Amino acid sequence: MKKDIHPKYREVVFYDVAGDFKFLTRSTVKTDQTTDYEGKEHPVVELEIASATHPFFTGSDKKTSAAGRVEKFSKKYGTDYFKKKA
């Protein structure tokens, strides 16, 4: 294997700033920031959203019913739009 061509693979802390949630994993991502995690100093990458705060994973995603969309369409374009023309 050639030397000095591969990125450094190391433990990195990913920090979800929206939920104040940190997790440790291994990565090759480059960062200059560091943080103290469980008594050791590790490089840190700040994330805007992660699994701890993402609506899909937390179950707080907004669900729209099909009936609500049809009612909104009917209100906007009139209630007789779907009726068959004679």
pTM for this entry: 0.59
Q: How confident is the model at residue 75 (pLDDT cuts 50, 70, 90)?
A: confident
> What residue ranges do the domains of the chain occupy?
1-60
Q: How far apart are CA 45 and CA 83, in angstroms?
A: 56
Q: How far apart are CA 62 and CA 5, in angstroms?
A: 46
Per-residue pLDDT tens over the stretch 17-74: 877 888 899 999 999 999 999 999 999 998 877 766 666 656 665 665 666 777 777 7
Q: Which residue intervals of 1-86 are DSSP H helices?
A: 55-58, 66-77
pLDDT score recorded for residue 9: 93
Q: How confident is the model at residue 14 (pLDDT cuts 50, 70, 90)?
A: very high
Instruction: Return the H-helix or E-strand segment holding 44.
Output: strand 40-47
